[in-house]
Structure 1
Amino acid sequence: MTSTDLVRPLWRALVVFRVITWFFACLGVYTRWDGLYRPTGAIALLAVMAAWTVVVSIGYSRSWGRRNTRFAVLDLVVTIACMAGTLLAQPLSHIQNGASVLTSVWVAGPVVALAIARGRDGGLLGATGICLALVLLVGPDQWVRVLNAVQLLLVAGLVVGYAATTTRRASIRLTEAIAAEAAAAERIRLSRSIHDGVLQVLAQVQRRGKAMGGEGAELAGLAAEQEVALRTLMTGRPTVSSQGTVDLCALLLPLATTSVDVVVPAGQVLVDAHTASELVAVVNEALGNVREHAGPAARAWIVVEDLPGEVMLSIRDNGRGTTSERFAQAAAEGRLGVSQSICGRIADLGGTAEVRTAPGEGTEWEMKVGKA
């Protein structure tokens, strides 16, 4: 199976960058060899840098190194220590008088690593750490000498961090799209088989059962319910989005039965998980009232509308209906299904709930809640 992790190539590029920049550091030492105060110290520093390059190359090539931000922070600490290791080859006075820091552009490695791992904030954290270490080495009076390096590190942290965040979001969306496509293809395959077999049998049972009457009619009703359940299963869609929100429509569609119709928009209606669970509970309470009070032949309709900044949920039935006074009387008698399970939940969500009912005209609930 092809990997959909679009961030992984950035880690591979970082490994290549770290190796190449180590060779640049070696070239820098070679070109400055005659000006080194202690050449053996420079060789020791390059050896340490080579060893750490191997370590981070292995780490960033494995999932444990890519997912563990502490490894990138450790990379930052070791890199700063290597910058200080320039003192093995050059006295501090030489560095502050113009001698170069021997680690060269190799020090940008942890900046890129933190940017990939933690986005813009991680990149800025890494760049700030390296820049502070660089300014301390060259001295506050000589910071202008490293201004270009400071600017490049900060820009690299910002740009790579933004690119990594964008790429990670694209990777999540791609994974979801592939999963949705696979699920849709599987539903289509199952739909063909079910339509050619199970649904036809259920339709025949409904026709024959109604014609037989008695227990046959009861069997026909059960077959009709199973047909609705199967059709709902075949048209189901993913519940959780890439932003961690929940598609309210996907949670309400399974509530459809032979006596309950669910009408939702073609696209997702995204709300947070708590709001979604409370709205589903409200709908179940309303449907329970329909079954208990509206009459055996009553039908119910659930309609979801996606409005700017809010969701409107309508629940209507064609049952016996009642009066507003009966709702108040039920609350006074301690029957809190309407006042608490419906109105109370909507109020807790910061929304509004209105009910319209009259004897013989059914009952209609209209509820509005914010998406956030």
Structure 2
Amino acid sequence: MERETVDLLQPLWRALVVFRLLTWAFACFGVWTRWDGIVRPYGAVLQLAVMGVWTLISSYGYSRRWGRRNTRLAFADLIITVGCMFATLWAQPLLDIRAGASVLTSVWAAGPVLALAISRGRDGGLLGAATISLALLSLRGVDNVSKILSNVQLLLVAGLVVGYAASTMRQAGVRLREAIAAESATAERLRLSRSIHDGVLQVLAQVQRRGTAIGGEATELAQLAAEQEVALRTLMSTRPTVATGDRVDLCGLLLPLATTRIDVVVPATQVLLPASTAGELVAAVKEALSNVTKHAGPGARSWVVVEDLGAEILVSVRDDGVGTTPARLEQARADGHLGVSQSIRGRIADLGGTVTVRTAPGEGTEWELKI
């Protein structure tokens, strides 16, 4: 139901149905005005009857979701329309057609061009226009190319314009669905956040304060309450990670890393990256935070800061731990500890980025990951 609600192509399909019906009526009017010049009138009547039946069938299909989503109907429309064009031979000999007699399908033959353009975009419109043009050329003959050139141009332009418009509207529909989903998720998150803030977070904050004041074994309980409070606040502030196509919001991937000892600071706006790039960057950040846990000392705190510099993205991972020296980092790599050389430097290098590390004994460590 949601997809049907935001299907921006519906007006184009409805216009196609109206076009089909009007052009069939126009074809009937053309036969009536040229009745005396038709060699076999009964053949023209039979052709119009076949066109009328298929117009009703295709119009019904294009008015239903299954007909719009399944391109087989548009391709069947193309095949049957070409057949109806050649059915003009029931009413007029081929020599008369090549001598200037009208192809009785007239503008009705442009229907599948529009249908393919709507369902398959620019390429579908060009395919339909080329097929109808070749059928028209085979009926008229190569000697009449100049006479049908304007018709071919109109078919190509119609296929291109309608195909481009359909593709643009389809992309807009995808973005609209994503926006509606994100808005719904945000509204639900805000509702839950109010409930959590009014209840659970206040209780956890009270437990933390009382446990710290009591001391002793209650201190551990206070620490657990503090960790759960941070986890809940992080969950409440986490953004949807999926944006458009294969691009994701780097900030939405990094925010869940926040704990009582890790602060994550991100821009107010999304920082969109290809999913694979964002995944590798997050993995490098996690490895840097893992090194803090292992080597920076039991009381070390960490800060992850994301900066969008336009052409570059800078992610800083800093801690206030015991620090080290560049020489010890190099010695660790030589000893076979590959966390820094492979998990951090290697990942960023594969992305075409750079890694800068600043550290000194007693001054903590700061990693700058720039891509």
TM-score, normalization by structure 2? 0.95
Aligned to 1:367: 369
Q: Which moved more, 1:149-158 or 1:251-260?
A: 149-158
Q: Residue 80 of structure 1: SS of its match in structure 2?
A: helix
**Superposition pairs of residues 214-293 of structure 1, within 5 angstroms:** 214-293=216-295
> How far 1:224 sits from its partner (Å)?
1.3
Identity of aligned residues (%): 70
Aligned to 1:348: 350
Q: Deviations over 1:307-351 (max 9, x none)?
A: 233322111111111111112211222111111111111112222
2:138 counterpart of 1:136: yes
AA aligned to 1:306 is: D
Task: Give the gaps of 5 or more residues in structure 1.
Answer: none
Aligned to 2:301: 299
Between the aligned partners of 1:215 and 1:84, the Cα distance in structure 2 is 92
Between the aligned partners of 1:167 and 1:334, the Cα distance in structure 2 is 55
Q: Residue 240 of structure 2: SS of its match in structure 1?
A: coil
Q: Which moved more, 1:65-74 or 1:178-187?
A: 65-74
> How far 1:294 sits from its partner (Å)?
0.7
Q: Deviations over 1:15-36 (max 9, x none)?
A: 2221221111111112111111
Q: Residue 357 of structure 2: SS of its match in structure 1?
A: strand
AA aligned to 1:32 is: R
RMSD over aligned CA atoms reads: 1.6
Q: Residue 337 of structure 2: SS of its match in structure 1?
A: coil
Which of the residues 102, 108, 111 maps onto 2:110? 108
Aligned to 2:330: 328
AA aligned to 1:365 is: W
Q: Which moved more, 1:1-10 or 1:210-219?
A: 1-10
Q: Deviations over 1:167-209 (max 9, x none)?
A: 1122122222222222222122112111111111011011001
Between the aligned partners of 2:50 and 2:238, the Cα distance in structure 1 is 57
Which of the residues 195, 198, 201 maps onto 1:199? 201
Which of the residues 135, 151, 154 maps onto 2:153? 151
The 1:40/1:309 distance shift into structure 2, 3 A limit, reads farther
Q: Which moved more, 1:197-206 or 1:4-13?
A: 4-13
TM-score, normalization by structure 1? 0.95
Which of the residues 158, 166, 169 maps onto 1:167? 169
Q: Residue 320 of structure 1: SS of its match in structure 2?
A: coil
> How far 1:104 sits from its partner (Å)?
1.0
AA aligned to 1:88 is: W
Which of the residues 161, 177, 180 maps onto 2:179? 177
> How far 1:147 sits from its partner (Å)?
2.5
2:85 counterpart of 1:95: no
Give runs of ≥4 in structure 1 deviating > 6 Å.
none
Between the aligned partners of 1:101 and 1:238, the Cα distance in structure 2 is 57
Which of the residues 40, 43, 46 maps onto 2:45? 43
Which of the residues 32, 35, 46 maps onto 1:33? 35
AA aligned to 2:211 is: G
Between the aligned partners of 2:159 and 2:129, the Cα distance in structure 1 is 6
Aligned to 1:311: 313
Which of the residues 62, 65, 69 maps onto 1:63? 65
Q: Deviations over 1:271-313 (max 9, x none)?
A: 1111111111111111111111111111111111222333221
